[in-house]
């Protein structure tokens, strides 16, 4: 069965610092991988997705993630944090073999200090 592990329920960085949010997955088939962001009082918004094309995926708002099969990881990074990046981030996997339901991690709340 597929599963997703997000290390660190809370991450704090200073404005301008590197953002690194960790995600590891387990899947018996090549998965599709996603990062979603939830800003306060809003729905989840897709940041980026990996669909077995390029292993380095660029998303919105300067975020990117690299698919590493050998490490079963899909970590999310951004070179320089902005105050507006403060939100909760969710990694998700979809097997897309017999279903396209999303399987989420527990989320990481990102706090950005001035």
Partner 1 sequence: EAGVTQFPSHSVIEKGQTVTLRCDPISGHDNLYWYRRVMGKEIKFLLHFVKESKQDESGMPNNRFLAERTGGTYSTLKVQPAELEDSGVYFCASSQDYGFEQYFGPGTRLTVT
Ranges of H-type helices in 5-110: none
Place of tokens 């998965």: 31
Q: Least distance (Å) from partner 1 to the CB of residue 96?
A: 6
Footprint of partner 1 (CB under 8 A): 4, 32, 36, 41-46, 49, 90, 92, 94, 96, 99-107
Based on CB atoms, which residue is closest to partner 1, 32 or 77?
A: 32
Whichever of 3 and 14 has its CB closer to partner 1, that residue is: 3
CB closer to partner 1, 36 vs 74: 36
Q: How far apart are CA 33 and CA 93, in angstroms?
A: 5
**Helices H / strands E in the chain, number of each:** 0, 12
């Amino acid at each position: 069965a597929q599963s997703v592990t997000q290390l660190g329920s809370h991450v704090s960085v200073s404005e301008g610092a590197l953002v690194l949010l960790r995600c590891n997955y387990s899947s018996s088939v090549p998965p599709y991988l996603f990062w979603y962001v939830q800003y306060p009082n809003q729905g989840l918004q897709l940041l980026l997705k990996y669909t077995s094309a390029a292993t380095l995926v660029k998303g919105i708002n300067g975020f990117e993630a690299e698919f590493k099969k050998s490490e079963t990881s899909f970590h999310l990074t951004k070179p320089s944090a902005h105050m507006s990046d403060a939100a909760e981030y969710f990694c998700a996997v979809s097997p897309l073999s017999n279903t396209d339901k999303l399987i989420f991690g527990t989320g990481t709340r990102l706090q950005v200090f001035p």
